[in-house]
């Protein structure tokens, strides 16, 4: 699954540093504006509100260091309210009216897909901090969350190799991220010899609350004498009743473990985690990671938010990485001009919170470690497995026929998001 890694690492080593350009912020402006595009209401507020707070924290920290290019940073916050078309409207407002230099935002892939045309049309920059389904590489987007090979595939490998799982429930919210991720996972499982009858796939709407029948079906599916696991791409506040129903029906981690891709410390803060001890999540960061960088981040975060009970989580770290990469690229380019910053970002490397450095690759994805964590009674995760090093995000899946020959490289002269190595042609971004 890492067949493209060496190619990208070689490319990174030769990435050129751009010279300074003309500042995108006019001389009359006293601040550089930064857009924050996260749902503060609706079904995704449970996950996204903390990311808004994280960006305010990061901007405050940067301003304490003197700002950027001699100017203070100014946050511009909007609420797209878990309304996918509204994300596009708010993105246009941030770029055209508020004149932000970059936007940090979105959670669901449907919200990201909604804003893509706006960022392309207006030539602005989006930093997207959440795990996603891959099958995309846009010039105006920098993907700081996990691609499938940095979360979903390693999680399945862990369950198969370490837990002996033979039957698979792929349960997700009904939109593009779960459906595409599960399409990749289904192909991957079948390539590993898993029979079709040993794969159960289920989708539910955003905000789904009545899980009794579905959990009963999962329980029945797991009673066939083969070790069964749930791979969950359930998003938002639907996770709360889902986990409650698992507990209600007595499904324990040792019987049918659940590995979640969208449940972290923030989501667990609203759940009685006692009955869920031992269930799993796959991320690239956990609050429990013991590094000096993480301890410093947590201490400063809690001091800023003035609440010792507030937790940290993986998408927060993704914003931490993405924001610091943007700052470094702006300093490198000497300007906030989008074209200069987009080019300058490739090759930028900054510390992550798990120890080491994450780098922005030519495909606009970053290098990340992969961690599997077990839910603890206190709502934290105990890391039970991790990759030995950093994994390069693979934007095009090796397990889908239409994607396996595609790569992305946004540096000149290629400047292509889906270059076909078999035909030698670029299909467009």
Cα–Cα distance, 147 to 6 (Å, whole number): 17
Burial of 331 (0-12, 13-18, 19+ CB in 10 A): middle
**Are both 5-146+290-368 and 149-283 of the same fold?**
yes
Cα–Cα distance, 384 to 63 (Å, whole number): 37
Q: Which residues of the chain have pLDDT under 50?
A: 1-28, 429
For residue 273, the model assigns a pLDDT of 87
The CATH number that domain 5-146+290-368 falls under is: 3.40.50.2300
- pLDDT tens-digit map of 199-245: 999 999 999 999 999 999 999 999 999 999 999 999 888 888 998 89
Q: How many helices (H) and strands (E) does the chain have?
A: 12, 19
What is the phi-psi region of residue 41: left when phi exceeds 0, alpha when psi lies from -120 to 50, beta otherwise? beta
For residue 6, the model assigns a pLDDT of 42
- Tell me which of 3.40.50.1370, 3.40.50.2300, 3.40.190.10, 3.40.50.620 is the CATH number of domain 149-283: 3.40.50.2300
Q: Which of 146, 145, 154 is nearest to 231 (CA)?
A: 154
For residue 237, the model assigns a pLDDT of 85
pTM given for the model: 0.89
What residues does each domain of the chain span? Answer: 5-146+290-368, 149-283
- pLDDT tens-digit map of 248-269: 999 999 999 999 998 899 888 8
For residue 274, the model assigns a pLDDT of 82
Distance in Å from the first CA to the final CA of the chain: 23
């Amino acid at each position: 699954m890492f067949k493209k890694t060496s190619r990208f690492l070689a490319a990174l080593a030769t990435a050129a540093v751009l010279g300074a350009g003309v500042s995108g912020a006019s001389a009359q402006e006293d601040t550089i504006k930064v857009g924050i595009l996260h749902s503060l209401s609706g079904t995704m507020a449970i996950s996204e509100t903390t990311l808004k707070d994280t960006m305010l924290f990061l901007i405050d920290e940067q301003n304490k260091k003197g700002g950027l290019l001699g100017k203070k940073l100014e946050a511009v916050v909007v609420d797209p309210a878990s309304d996918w078309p509204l994300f596009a409207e708010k993105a246009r407002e941030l770029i055209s009216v508020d004149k932000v230099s970059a936007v940090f935002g979105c959670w669901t892939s449907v919200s990201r897909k909604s804003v893509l045309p706006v960022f392309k049309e207006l030539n602005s920059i989006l930093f997207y901090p959440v795990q996603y389904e891959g099958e995309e590489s846009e010039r105006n987007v920098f993907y700081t969350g996990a691609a499938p090979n940095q979360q979903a595939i390693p999680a399945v490998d862990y369950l198969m190799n370490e837990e002996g799982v033979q039957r698979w429930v792929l349960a997700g919210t009904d939109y593009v991220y779960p459906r595409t991720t599960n399409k990749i996972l289904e192909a991957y499982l079948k390539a590993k010899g898993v029979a079709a009858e040993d794969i159960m796939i289920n989708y539910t709407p955003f905000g789904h609350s009545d899980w009794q029948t579905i959990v009963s079906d999962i329980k029945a599916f797991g009673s066939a004498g083969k070790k069964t696991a749930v791979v969950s791409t359930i998003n938002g506040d639907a996770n709360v009743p889902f986990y409650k129903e698992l507990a209600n029906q007595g499904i324990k981690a040792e019987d049918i473990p659940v590995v979640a891709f969208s449940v972290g410390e923030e989501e667990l803060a609203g759940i009685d985690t006692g009955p869920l001890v031992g269930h799993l999540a796959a991320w690239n960061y956990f609050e429990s990671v013991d590094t000096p960088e993480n301890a410093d981040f947590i201490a400063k975060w809690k001091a800023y938010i003035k609440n010792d009970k507030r937790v940290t989580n993986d998408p927060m770290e993704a914003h931490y990485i993405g924001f610091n990469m943007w700052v470094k690229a702006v300093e490198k380019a000497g300007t906030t001009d989008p074209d200069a910053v987009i080019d300058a970002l490739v090759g930028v490397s900054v510390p992550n919170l798990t120890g080491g450095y994450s780098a922005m690759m030519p495909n606009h994805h970053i290098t990340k470690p992969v961690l599997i964590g077990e839910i603890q009674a206190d709502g934290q995760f105990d890391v039970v497995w991790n990759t030995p090093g950093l994994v390069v995000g693979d934007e095009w899946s090796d397990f889908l026929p239409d994607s396996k020959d595609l790569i992305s490289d946004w540096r000149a002269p290629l400047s292509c998001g889906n270059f076909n190595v078999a035909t030698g042609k670029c299909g467009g971004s």
